[in-house]
């Protein structure tokens, strides 16, 4: 078999299965051996084994086989789940991940697995080979799980029937008939167990009859009648199953297949199938580029329509504007992915880091289906890792300390994502010690970031902000995790490069909360166009607080700098024509100077312009590699008349 064309598929599916395996292992650790969870993990391992085998990755197959054996032993109650087993399973999962990444990088799965294999074998008590799986032979229900489900079913007024379906001796297409039976049965209710296994039945591997245990609201006769409608079904025997008997007759065997929703209310549930197609991100980028061209042309049309003042043209342009607005929403949505993609690697990280730190930490993740632009998703991972590690290292205290403080020994970190307006917020909240103002302030003085007086007068919030300055770290000792002084300032830079902001708040003894605010999209923004002499500039709307008309008399001077009083607070007043060395000396004779009040983080400033043009959606274009970074310009855009306008970066001007 030429396997190359399947390689991408293999890699993608392997990653998915490894991810669900990781999740499963974490659940397993939490639930202390919930069999349903073991089954989930087993299924992932089993699929991985099959896939790696058919792709010819034998080392990977060997390892997954060993994993399977252990999981099998666990679900047969031959092994009890303890931390040693969990650790060994995690190690094996890590090793598998490494293999997959090596294969993705063009290598082979040839990794030394002897250490992992040895630890796996050791945990399974020197019994590497699991007993052969045999289907239960009696008709009694098979385990606690089953009994549990049946009890719930009975409580909710469902019937539990044992249905024996006998096919006619002449039946040639046993598999097809069995399939039809299952189609009907699944409409009737929930199948909790079959004998032989579903897979075997669907392959036609049974003599002439098979048994289904079914939870349904339908009566005995209804079930019988409906199943008899399948041709070549000779007889259907429906008999009730007693709960009391079930509970006591628990055996060690697990059913080969059971529906995952078994513990929920048993009701017929249609398999949710959303129809999707895979599209490469490159094509989405192309689509976006073309759309940007369209936006620029739309701007040009609007300009022409303004000049011509033709009603029909105006109406058409308006329609185009509306349509392109909807189109923009859709295209931007196409590029959106749930933050889950980034979040799902954190539980494992928190687990291993908290072990290293000797702390007990529970991670809670909320709003994992919040969506973000694909490009942001790719970039936001590292800053989040850093912030979470920071909370684990500096935030959450050691268990003894927490107990003394009257807190739960296990610390709690909440990772929360949500939409608000045109932004996505991600919060990292911990219930740890909080930020010690004095410690931070002292450190900042020591590092020469602030003076002694400032240390006294700054507000708490301002002190916390100091932690984002470069070269700042308050860890008492340098640990492996954070506190190397390359921490929060890097996080801040990264987030700002994505057009976002990061903020921190804290209450001593209660915990801290870091809030990241990110724009929904990166390439099209709302902006305010302004004139400075004859030049046109764009200011991103999200940094503008308001526009104002300022009189020369209202300005004050402090240290030679012009200041403006804004809501009882003195803010710097800067003239853009000076800031940007704009040529031209047209004197404005108006009494009022048009000005823009802009904000970056905590800082507010007032910028004098010559004329407001108005709001416009603009497409951000880079100035290119040649010019590099030009302050305070963050990019350029093409206006309706084809001219280039520069986009001002408020944060570097304030």
Smallest Cα–Cα separation from 285: which of 380, 373, 379?
373
Q: Does 304 bind other proteins (CB under 8 A)?
A: no
Distances (CA, A) of 303 to 307, 531, 644: 7, 16, 15
Least distance (Å) between residue 625 CB and other proteins:
6
- Of the residues 29, 36, 40, 68, only one is catalytic, namely 68
For residue 68, indicate whether it is catalytic. yes
How far apart (Å, rounded) are the C-alpha atoms in residues 112 and 559? 69
Is 468 within 8 Å of 489 (Cβ atoms)? Answer: yes
Binding other proteins (rule: CB under 8 A), the pick from 267, 412, 575, 621 is 621
How far is it, in rounded angstroms, from Cα 525 to Cα 558? Answer: 35
Of 7 and 644, CB closest to other proteins: 644
623 binds other proteins (CB under 8 A): yes
The string of DSSP codes covering 612-644 is EEEEEEEE-B---TTT--BTTEEEEEE-TTS-E
Answer for which of 481, 580, 604, 613 binds other proteins (CB under 8 A) is 580
Shortest reach from residue 584's CB to other proteins, in Å: 11
Of 156-164, 468-476, 610-618, 626-634, which segment contacts other proteins by CB under 8 A? 626-634
CA distance 142 to 150: 11
Draw the binding track, 311-350, toward other proteins (x: CB under 8 A; -: no contact).
Answer: ----------------------------------------
Q: Is 9 in the site for other proteins (CB under 8 A)?
A: no
Q: Decide if residue 622 touches other proteins (CB under 8 A).
A: yes
State in angstroms the smallest separation of the CB of 536 from other proteins.
8
Contact stretch for other proteins (CB under 8 A) within 141-149, 207-215, 330-338, 580-588: 580-588
State the CB neighbour count (10 A cutoff) for residue 237: 14
Q: At CB < 8 A and 24+ separation, what contacts does 399-408 make?
A: 399/358, 399/359, 399/360, 401/433, 405/509, 407/431
Inter-CA distances, 497 with 293, 412, 490, 518, 625, Å: 24, 30, 11, 10, 16
Q: Which is nearer to other proteins, 141 or 635 (CB)?
A: 635
CB of 474 to other proteins, least distance (A): 33
Closest to 331 measured CA to CA, from 299, 284, 369, 371: 284
Q: Of the listed 69, 159, 390, 542, which one is catalytic?
A: 390
Smallest gap from Cβ 621 to other proteins, in A, equals 5
Of these, 358, 421, 560, 583, which contacts other proteins (CB under 8 A)?
Answer: 583
Cβ at position 628, least distance to other proteins in Å: 6
How many beta carbons lie within 10 A of that of residue 214, not counting itself?
26
Q: Rounded CA gap, 361 and 506, in Å?
A: 19
390 in catalytic set? yes
Please give the angle made by the CA atoms of 220, 226 and 228, to the nearest 5 degrees: 100
Binding flag, residue 296, other proteins (CB under 8 A): yes
# binding residues, other proteins (CB under 8 A): 27
- Residue of 284, 415, 272, 281 lying closest to 340 (CA atoms): 415
559, 581, 589, 614: which one binds other proteins (CB under 8 A): 581
> How many residues are there in the chain?
654
628 is a site residue for other proteins (CB under 8 A): yes
> Buried (b) or exposed (e) across 523-532, using 16+ Cβ within 10 A?
bbbebbbbbb
Nearer of residues 27 and 297 to other proteins, judged by Cβ: 297
**Tokens 């990772």 belong to residue:** 415
The correct pick among 645, 650, 653, 654 for binding other proteins (CB under 8 A) is 645
Q: Is 293 in the site for other proteins (CB under 8 A)?
A: yes
Beta bridge partners of 411: 361
CB neighbours of residue 535 within 10 Å: 17
Binding of other proteins at residue 633 (CB under 8 A)? yes
Q: Which is nearer to other proteins, 572 or 632 (CB)?
A: 632
Kindly tell me which of 250 and 623 has the beta carbon lying closer to other proteins. 623
Q: How far is the CB of 581 from other proteins (least distance, A)?
A: 5
Kindly name the residue from 13, 34, 46, 423 that is annotated as catalytic. 46
Which among 372-380, 410-418, 443-451, 640-648 is the span making contact with other proteins, rule CB under 8 A? 640-648
User: Binding of other proteins at residue 535 (CB under 8 A)?
Assistant: yes
For the chain, the C-alpha Rg in angstroms (whole number) is 33
- Which member of 582, 613, 617, 651 binds other proteins (CB under 8 A)? 582
| Among candidate residues 622, 530, 625, the one with its CA nearest the CA of residue 577 | 530
Residues making contact with other proteins (CB under 8 A): 292-293, 296, 535, 580-583, 621-628, 630-633, 636, 638, 642-646
* Catalytically active residues, by annotation: 46, 68, 390
């Amino acid at each position: 078999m030429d396997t190359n064309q399947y390689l991408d598929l293999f890699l993608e599916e392997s990653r998915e299965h490894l991810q669900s395996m990781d999740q499963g292992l974490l659940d397993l650790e939490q639930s202390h051996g919930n069999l349903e969870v073991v089954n989930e993990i087993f299924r992932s391992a089993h699929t991985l084994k099959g896939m790696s085998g058919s792709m010819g990755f034998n080392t990977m197959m060997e390892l997954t086989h060993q994993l399977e054996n252990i999981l099998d032993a666990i679900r047969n109650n031959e092994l009890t789940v303890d931390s040693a087993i969990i650790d060994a399973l995690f190690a094996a999962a890590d090793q598998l991940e490494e293999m997959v990444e090596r294969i993705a990088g063009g290598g082979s799965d040839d990794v030394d697995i002897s250490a992992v294999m040895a630890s796996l074998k050791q945990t399974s008590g020197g019994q590497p080979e699991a007993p052969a799986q045999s289907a239960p032979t009696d008709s009694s229900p098979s385990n606690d799980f089953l009994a549990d489900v049946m009890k719930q079913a009975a409580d909710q007024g469902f019937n539990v029937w044992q249905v024996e379906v006998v096919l006619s001796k002449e039946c040639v297409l046993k598999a097809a008939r069995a399939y039809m039976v299952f189609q009907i049965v699944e409409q009737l209710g929930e199948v909790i167990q079959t004998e032989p296994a579903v897979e075997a039945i669907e392959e036609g591997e049974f003599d002439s009859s098979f048994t289904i245990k079914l939870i349904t609201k339908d009566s005995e006769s209804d079930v019988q009648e409906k199943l008899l409608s399948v041709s070549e079904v000779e007889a259907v025997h429906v008999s009730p199953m007693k709960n009391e008997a079930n509970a006591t007759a628990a055996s060690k065997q697990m059913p080969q297949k059971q529906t995952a929703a078994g513990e929920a209310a048993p009701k017929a549930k249609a398999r949710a199938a959303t129809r999707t197609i895979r599209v490469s991100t490159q094509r989405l980028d192309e689509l976006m580029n073309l759309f940007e061209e369209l936006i620029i042309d739309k701007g040009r049309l609007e300009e022409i329509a303004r000049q011509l003042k033709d009603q029909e043209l105006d109406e058409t342009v308006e329609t185009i504007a509306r349509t392109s607005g909807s189109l923009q929403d859709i295209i931007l949505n196409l590029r959106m992915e749930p933050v889950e993609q980034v979040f799902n690697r954190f539980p494992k990280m928190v687990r291993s880091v908290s072990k290293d730190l000797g702390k007990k930490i529970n991670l809670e993740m909320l709003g994992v289906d919040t969506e973000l632009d694909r490009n942001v998703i790719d970039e936001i991972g590292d800053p989040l890792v850093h912030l979470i590690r920071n909370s684990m290292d500096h935030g959450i205290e050691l268990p003894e300390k927490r107990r003394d403080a009257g807190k739960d020994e296990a610390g709690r970190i909440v990772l929360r994502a949500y939409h608000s307006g045109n932004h996505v917020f991600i919060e990292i909240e911990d219930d740890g010690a909080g930020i010690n103002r004095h410690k931070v302030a002292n450190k900042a003085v020591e590092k020469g970031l602030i003076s002694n007086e400032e240390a006294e007068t700054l507000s708490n919030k301002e002190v916390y902000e100091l932690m984002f300055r470069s070269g700042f770290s308050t860890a008492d000792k340098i640990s492996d995790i954070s506190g190397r002084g390359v921490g929060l300032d890097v996080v801040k830079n990264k987030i700002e490069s994505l057009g976002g902001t990061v903020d921190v708040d804290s209450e001593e003894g209660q915990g801290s909360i870091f809030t990241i605010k990110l724009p929904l999209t990166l390439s099209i923004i709302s902006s305010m166009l302004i004139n400075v002499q004859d030049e046109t500039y764009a200011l991103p709307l999200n940094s503008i607080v308001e526009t104002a008309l300022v009189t020369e008399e209202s300005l004050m001077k402090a240290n030679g700098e012009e200041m403006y009083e804004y809501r009882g607070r003195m803010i710097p007043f800067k003239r853009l024509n000076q800031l940007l060395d704009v040529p031209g000396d047209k004197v404005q004779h108006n009494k009022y100077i048009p000005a823009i009040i802009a904000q970056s983080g905590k800082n507010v400033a007032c910028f004098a312009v010559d004329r407001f043009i108005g709001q416009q959606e603009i497409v951000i274009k880079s100035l290119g590699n040649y010019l590099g970074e030009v302050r305070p310009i963050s990019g350029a855009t093409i206006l309706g008349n084809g001219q280039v306008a520069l986009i001002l970066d408020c944060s570097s001007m304030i």
